[in-house]
Structure 1
Amino acid sequence: MRLAVEGLRLLGAVTLGALTALCELVFLLVTLPFQANPNVVASARRLARLEARRLRLDAAGLTALTGGDLRASLYLAARVPLGLLGGMVITLLAYGAGAAVLIVVLWGQGLPFDGMLPSLPLAAYAFVAGCVLLFLDLSGVVGVHALERMLIVRMLGPDRTRALERRIAELAESRAGIVAAVDSERRRIERDLHDGLQQRLVALSMLIGRSKRNRPELLEQAHQEAQEALAELREVAWRVYPSGLDSLGLDEALAGVAERSDVPVKVTCQLRRRPPMAVETAAYFVVSEAVTNAAKHAAASLITVEVHEEDDQVVVRVRDDGCGGARAAGGGLSGLARRVAALDGTFELTSPPGGPTSITAVLPCG
């Protein structure tokens, strides 16, 4: 059923292409002396956009449709013969189908075949010949449609050299961003160790030293300091890399983020299968950093985390009902954006003054 629907859609596209080729031929002949006119150029771009829609291509990816040059007119001139060829193929297909129906009807009435070859050999010959011609005709329809798609992408699509240069520049920028993000993360870990854990251990050492001087009441205080130091050490270790992510998976790791947060966090993780480790790690850090920022700076009362799959991509969305005003250029969020960009993902921040704040990261799994 699906193949039949797709075949009918293909036939319709090629048939419509033959009709538009005739219209475009008239357009080119009429406007030939005025090709440099801006109105003619704009009309040619509109016709090319219609062709892209007919061929089910995204017109936004055809860079020539946004400029003021004559590439759209050149494309129309190049596709007119191809469209007319498609019209001839459709005409032959219609003629063959009509002839087959007519032969079947006349054969049933026994009119044209009296005294000719025996009916069985003649029927077999007609059937085999008809199947071969039908196959060739349908192949021609598919070929014309494929050639039309290749032509519009080749003539109106982005230049491959420029696309590669742009991709190289993006990769170089993302690589530099990754290095900067790693350095920033190392500096933050050093601050956490120096300002938090190190101070607590110094205080613990002093309390133990004082308790040796016949002051056992200080042992309880030393025990409390040791517990808090261990808690901070675990927190810092999870910031470096969440070891539970390997064994527990993303769902349980995010549940741990919710448990450690001072603000209520509602987590919804709906993944049909476990994503690649790099994607899983990036998703975890997006949620962890977003929850930490909301708890520290947004004065939020509720944080909602949603993780789900869309078209072989993991979509991570974190919302809070805080005061808003978050900036993508902030240290933590800019690091997240670079981490997501390193996986060819997209990172979006929406945080108007007064809130709410929404962070969305789309991570491809391919």
Structure 2
Amino acid sequence: MRAVAVRGAWCAAGLALGAATAVAELLLTLLAGLSLLLVLAWPRGRRAVLRRLGAIASRIADTERRRLGRFLGVRISDTYDDGRALRYVVARWPLGLLGGLVLFCMATGLLYVGFGLFGWFFHGIEYPWAVVATGLAGLFLVFLTVQAVFGTALLEGQLAGRLLGPSHQDELERRITQLATSRAEMMDAVHDERRRIERDLHDGVQQRLVALGMLIGRARRSRDTERAGQLLLQAHEESRRALAELREVAWRIYPPVLDEAGLRAALETVAERTPLPVHLDYTVDEPPGRQVQTVAYFVVSEAVTNVVKHSGATRIAVTLRREPGARTLCLRVEDDGSGGADPTGGGLLGLAGRVAALDGRFAVHSPAGGPTEITAELPCA
């Protein structure tokens, strides 16, 4: 209830500012009509007038875009040109004045309610039923105008999205570019992962196996039974270390617990294997699909690994949330380290590529001095 009231207050403030800008937009519309009427038969003059009007309209549209984003929660791209801005300004002023009218009616209803209460408690009244009827009428008017505030705010967002937002062709081109970029990033991430696996095998497991072979060879050539036993004991220990490193590499490639027990168990295992204390807050009522679980696991796992290696942190907080019926899995990895993480670095760029491959959102907030916060939103539908 409180969230609805706060949302309504912000919408009302946005409509009040929109009513003020609608007056300027109405004046610009009248000026545009008069100016174009004067140069209607002069093509060069008409183009010059449209350029000036478009520049003014673009500044007004920028103001409207910031107002919509701050008060109404509507995000509009700034890629529109002057012509689209002019069309938006010309089409928007009636809606802006409508918002002002809705707020005026709301104020009138509140005035009726306040007048009735003031008269009832502080002054003697001769017609109490008339005062009650007036107060109820005021409450009903307030109720209607509250609905109208949200409806007008919705219309504001739809109008701006239709006239200022990208066209269908632009949206398709943007989507194609995004898919091509995410595919290239995913290929780079796959190649980086292959190089990392090769490096882990070469520097770890392979060296262990070479040492194991040398120890067994020395044991076979040794004529001292006691010395041969010591060498075989060393070879046995070396084989155990090689097996442990091989399991570690296999775990980093893909943890079997993710398929066997699910995402929560896999993340709990990550927390147990991490040398720093990890607080896991897992609030997911409905498990997402396998691809989403896999990407979420690797984002958390790689982010925790980066924290341990580079941040100098003392604790890590991992949060995963998905509300009932929601179509998005939200995850956050936060640490108390020194900050300064580079979002364009290889590790974080690879995570961004994984998230982008699912059409999700990935963000890194890491000011100098910390803390570092990595967030991702993964669509589940």
Shared fold (TM-score greater than 0.5)?
A: yes
* Equivalent position of 2:297 in the other structure: 280
Asked if 1 retains the 8 angstrom alpha-carbon contact of 2:279 and 2:317, the reply is yes
Q: Does 1:227 align with 2:230?
A: no
Counterparts of 1:117-156 in structure 2 under 5 Å?
A: 136-156=144-164
Change over 3 Å in CA distance of 1:286–1:215 after alignment to 2: farther
Asked if 2 retains the 8 angstrom alpha-carbon contact of 1:15 and 1:90, the reply is yes
- Larger of the two Rg values belongs to structure: 1
* Equivalent position of 1:200 in the other structure: 208
* Equivalent position of 2:356 in the other structure: 341
Q: 2:68 aligns with which of 43, 46, 52?
A: 52
Amino acid at match of 1:204: L
Output one character per residue of 1:244-294: Cα deviation in whole Å (capped at 9) or x when no partner: 665754254244243xxxxxxx444352536963313321023336646x5
Asked if 2 retains the 8 angstrom alpha-carbon contact of 1:320 and 1:356, the reply is yes
Task: Report the identity percentage.
Answer: 37
Q: Tell me the matched-pair count.
A: 336
Moved more, 1-10 or 235-244: 1-10
Shift in Å, 1:229: 1.9
Asked if 1 retains the 8 angstrom alpha-carbon contact of 2:76 and 2:160, the reply is no
TM value normalised by structure 2: 0.65
Change over 3 Å in CA distance of 1:243–1:35 after alignment to 2: same
Asked if 1 retains the 8 angstrom alpha-carbon contact of 2:355 and 2:361, the reply is yes
Change over 3 Å in CA distance of 1:219–1:356 after alignment to 2: farther
SS of the equivalent of 2:85 reads: helix
Counterparts of 1:32-43 in structure 2 under 5 Å?
A: 33=35, 34-37=49-52, 40-41=56-57, 43=59
Query: For the residues of structure 1 that align with 2:267 and 2:55, how far apart are their CA atoms?
Result: 56
Shift in Å, 1:364: 1.8
TM value normalised by structure 1: 0.68
Structure 2 unmatched ranges of 5 or more: 36-48, 322-328
Q: Does 1:313 align with 2:322?
A: no
Amino acid at match of 1:157: G
Shift in Å, 1:84: 2.6
Shift in Å, 1:133: 6.0
Change over 3 Å in CA distance of 1:229–1:62 after alignment to 2: same
Structure 1 unmatched ranges of 5 or more: 114-118, 259-265, 295-299
Query: For the residues of structure 1 that align with 2:70 and 2:371, how far apart are their CA atoms?
Result: 37
Counterparts of 1:127-276 in structure 2 under 5 Å?
A: 136-193=144-201, 196-212=204-220, 214-216=223-225, 217=227, 218-243=231-256, 248-258=265-275, 266-273=276-283
SS of the equivalent of 2:279 reads: strand
SS of the equivalent of 2:72 reads: coil
Asked if 2 retains the 8 angstrom alpha-carbon contact of 1:41 and 1:73, the reply is yes
In angstroms, what is the RMSD of aligned CA positions? Answer: 4.7
